[in-house]
Structure 1
Amino acid sequence: MNDYLTTILSINSRSSLLFILLVFISVLSNCDNASGQQEKKVVSTVDFAVDTIPTLNATKLELTKQYCLENYGVASYKLDSPKIVLVHFTVIPTLEETVEYFQKDSIESSRTNISKFSQMNVGIHYIVDKDGSIYKLVPDTVIARHAIGFNHVSIGIENIAKDAADLTPAQLESNVKLIAVLKERNPGLEYLVGHHEYNDISLAHYKLFLAVDESYKPHNKPDPGPKFIADLREKLKAEHNLTFMK
């Protein structure tokens, strides 16, 4: 009888231990699942095609270095800590014409409002074509001349369009994907600004404005327009839980 009871107790003990172990494993599994669900809320890497069209050479890098010395007081073309994503449209109607324009080393003398401050040509980091294709022209680590007073802290995106009405849904989607990836690569990005907003001294980003020559000031621009930038902010929040300051 005693042997029988001992056997029963032994079996019950093993069953209890097994039961406790199964409960513990279940709890761990639930914790892992909860952790995984939380991680899904964080911006995940977005896979999309980016075709590279190089526009840099030794001459342009030297012009960029000189531009930065004259306008930001630093003899370097490096973009170390970008804070702003600045969105434009080209006015130039095609990708081919836009690339041809940006590939020039020196700015056109006809652009009298900015050519007197540097011979460096205007430039951009990314172009988004009307079908949503994304092209990289300048590395994220190199300064491009696309926004007076903010080039030292900004990554620029141009959208091929004659005006705001010419922008496409495909471009909006690609801007969302591109900015989500840029934020992953550059966690310090805090501001999303339309070119039409960059001259607004009431917005938070304006505290980053820098110009050695006080006469080199931003001027009003129409691109990409209030609707496109509002839609862009809304989709970044809805699809990637990303909110940027202005």
Structure 2
Amino acid sequence: MKKLLLCMLGLVSSLYAAETMSDDLVIIQKPIVFDAKRKALTLQYMQERYNMVQDEPTIKPRMVVVHWTVIPTFEKTFEVFNPPELPAARDGIRSGGDLNVSSQFVIDRDGTIYQLMPETIMARHTIGLNYTAIGIENVADGDSLPMTEAQLDANTRLIRYLAGKYPIEYVLGHSEYHRFRDTKWWKETDANYFTEKNDPDIPFMNRLRSQLKGLSLKPLP
């Protein structure tokens, strides 16, 4: 509870705090700034993009969306996600609002798992689905930095952990989110607000889902 309060108040510690979730899962707490400004921008995003009016920017997780960062290190990724407001360099998605992009988790190339935000606080990572999706970013780009075996293992263990806490129905790659556009899950209010994505590659996602057999996951639409 103390970590959550510190995160929500924006009093971000510079120290890494490791929390052992089970014998084979360690999540390092590294919260990004979530101050009054980020909270207000998140609530505004939810209202404008999803017609959701709430007092708190909470979500009910039903999906996990897997990404890659196209940023070469965790440290640089943290620097990008940390500010509450979208930087000027991201004008291509500014039409979607001033809230900065982020995700609840980032997995480094060696499989180290970092938690940047509480699982039930909305992060901006997937158009149309943020209101119900936990985001997992991986330090990779699919080219000079392909997804690693350590990341495959870490994603598997993390998603199994999340599925044990929440009624997760779908695990998808960012490259697959378009498959939800004509379903009840899609809440984006602007039909023209959409970007093509290629992360992660489909072979990786197929391998990941094969590792998750036994969970009550539904096939993608």
Three-state SS of the structure 1 residue aligned to 2:184 is: helix
Instruction: Give the secondary structure class of the aligned counterpart of 1:151.
Output: coil
5+ residue gaps in structure 1?
1-44
Shift of 1:78: 3.2
**Is the aligned partner of 1:236 residue 2:212?**
yes
Deviations 1:136-192 (A, max 9, x none): 001011000000000001000000012266110000000000000100100x21011
Q: Counterpart in 2 of 1:84? A: 63
2:109 equivalent in structure 1: 130
- Asked if residue 176 in structure 1 is aligned to residue 149 in structure 2, the reply is no
TM-score by length of 2: 0.82
Shift of 1:47: 4.1
Identity level (%): 37
Distance 2:180 2:45 in 1: 24
Q: What is residue 225 of structure 1 aligned with on the other side? A: 201
Q: Is the contact made by 1:233 and 1:243 (CA closer than 8 Å) also made in structure 2?
A: no
Q: In the alignment, which of 146, 149, 163 is matched to residue 166 of structure 1?
A: 146
Q: How many pairs are equivalent? A: 196
1:87-139: per-residue Cα shift (whole Å, max 9, x none)? 00000010000000000111122323311221100010000000000000010
| 2:68 is aligned with 1:95 | no
1:59 aligns with 2:37: yes
Q: Distance in 2 between matches of 1:176 and 1:232?
A: 6
Deviations 1:36-81 (A, max 9, x none): xxxxxxxxx6641111111122211111011111111123353342
- Judging changes above 3 Å, is the alpha-carbon distance between structure 1 residues 92 and 175 closer, same or farther for their aligned structure 2 residues? same
* Structure-2 separation of matches of 1:123 and 1:97: 13
Q: Output the CA distance in 2 between the equivalents of 1:46 and 1:86.
A: 25
Question: Does residue 106 of structure 1 match 2:79?
Answer: no
| 8 A contact 1:127–1:159 mirrored in 2 | yes
**Secondary structure at 2:154's aligned position in 1?**
helix
Distance 1:123 1:192 in 2: 18
Q: Which runs of 5+ in 2 are unaligned?
A: 1-21
What's the TM-score, normalizing by structure 1? 0.74
Aligned equivalents of 1:200, 1:46: Cα separation in 2: 36
Which consecutive segments of 4 or more residues in structure 1 shift more than 4 A? none
Between the aligned partners of 2:181 and 2:187, the Cα distance in structure 1 is 16
Tell me whether 1:152 sits opposite 2:131 in the alignment.
yes
- Tell me the equivalent position of 2:184: 207
CA distance in 1, matches of 2:137, 2:60: 20
Partner residue of 2:10? none
**1:50 touches 1:136 (CA, 8 Å); kept in 2?**
yes
RMSD after superposition: 2.0
3-state SS, counterpart of residue 25 of structure 2: coil
Decide which structure has greater strand share: 2
Q: Name the one with the larger helix percent.
A: 1
Distance 2:200 2:158 in 1: 16
Q: Could you tell me how far apart the structure 2 residues matched to 1:137 and 1:94 are?
A: 15
Could you tell me which amino acid in structure 2 is paired with residue 59 of structure 1? K
**1:232 Cα shift?**
0.4
Check conservation: 2:42, 2:57, Cα contact below 8 A: no
